[in-house]
Amino acid sequence: MHKKISRWVKDKQQGIKRALVTAYDYPMARFAAAAGMHGVLVGDSLGMVVCGDQDTLNVTLEQMCYHTRMVRRGAGECLVFADLPFGSYEKSPEQAWESAGELLRAGADVIKLEGGAEMAATVAFCAERGINICAHIGLTPQRVRQWGSFQRQGSTDAEAQRLHHEAAALSAAGARFVVMEAVPDQVAAKISREIDAVTIGIGAGPDTDAQVLVAHDVLGLEAESPPFARRYLEAGNLQQQAFAQYVQDVASGNFPPRRPH
Ligand code: KIV
Ligand code: NA
């Protein structure tokens, strides 16, 4: 096993929590690594928070590779996760393996894909051929057009049981990590206790093995954030203030300063 990944497994066993954040470019990865982040995720959320789309469906594999290369250069010791975007893996295990290879060559250590038990064969195919896979269950944003909105999952007993079954199937298929997004805390806790894969929660309570947040929420770069996110900074406001000051300084002649000849 990858030396860094075996640390994640050991920490799971010892109950030591780990933190990831998304990163889409070199500076974001550099700050995350310098802050002691354990992993950075090049998420296809970039379609929304970087590109301004309403969902993640327009993100291409080429774009994911482009951003993964930037993140890799800044990521230092962080484990780099990268998302397979919509349309690049669902058709067959072979398609997933080829697309995952592109992301590996771009610098990713772990490849993430959305879906439940129906993706287990794909996870096994890739894992058996040298690719570290992170599964993603619960609220899987690439399926938003089927649901009509970003909905919490697992609220009924039947749904909770389905999630449990999916997580177990994906872990058994060889997924090293499972992201659980917007699922009830107790469901995420139980799954985390019972599967070998390292669980990474977002909106899934405190009892997953690790947590992930979107950097633009942590930093306050989004206009609004989901209730489960924590905004540690209002960098959007600070950036706007800096820009406004610059505009004002140009208008008033305060910038640039007049140089003596
Ligand atoms: O794309 C993304 O940012 C993600 C995380 C929210 C898990 O998939
Ligand atoms: Na994603």
CATH number at residue 61: 3.20.20.60
What lies within 8 Å, CB to CB, of 62 at 6+ separation is none
Q: Is residue 241 part of a domain?
A: no
Ligand 1 pocket, residue 199 CB under 6 Å: no
61 is a domain residue = yes
Four-CA torsion 193, 133, 172, 142, nearest 10 degrees: 80
Residue 219 confidence (pLDDT): 98
Distance of CA 170 to the CA centre of its chain: 18
Residue 211 lies in a domain: yes
Give the ligand at the shortest distance from the Cα of 181: 1
Q: Which of 62, 90, 128, 181 is catalytic?
A: 181
**Is 22 near ligand 1, meaning CB less than 6 Å away?**
yes
Q: Which pLDDT score is estimated for 3?
A: 84
pTM (2 d.p.): 0.97
Q: Decide if 243 is inside a domain.
A: no
The candidate with the shortest Cα–Cα distance to 179, out of 137, 140, 149, is: 137
Q: How far apart are CA 180 and CA 137, in angstroms?
A: 5
Ligand nearest to the CA of 84: 2
Domain membership of residue 251 (yes or no) is: no
- What is the 8-class DSSP label of residue 222? S
Count of domains forming the chain: 1
CA–CA separation, 141 vs 25, rounded Å? Answer: 21
Q: Is 135 in the pocket of ligand 1 (CB under 6 A)?
A: no
End-to-end CA distance of the chain: 65
Choose which residue among 83, 134, 142 to substitute to test ligand 1 binding: the one with the highest number of ligand atoms within 8 A of its C-beta.
Answer: 83
| Parts of the chain with a pLDDT under 50 | none
Of 179, 200, 219, the residue with max ligand 1 atoms within 8 A of its CB, to mutate for a pocket test, comes to 179
Phi, psi of 8, deg, nearest 5: -65, -40
Give me ligand 2 centre to Cα 140, in Å. 8
Is 83 labeled as ligand-binding? yes
Residue 253 within a domain: no
Q: How far apart are the CA of 62 and the centre of ligand 2, in A? A: 15
Q: What pLDDT, on the 0 to 100 scale, is given for residue 152?
A: 83
- Residue 261 placed within a domain: no
Nearest CA, atom 5, ligand 1: 43
Closest-lying ligand to the alpha carbon of 50?
Answer: 1
181 is catalytic: yes
Question: Does residue 256 have a cis peptide bond before it, meaning omega lies within 30 degrees of 0?
Answer: yes
Of 209, 192, 182, the residue nearest 20 (C-alpha)? 209
Does residue 190 fall inside a structural domain? Answer: yes
Domain that holds residue 84: 3-233
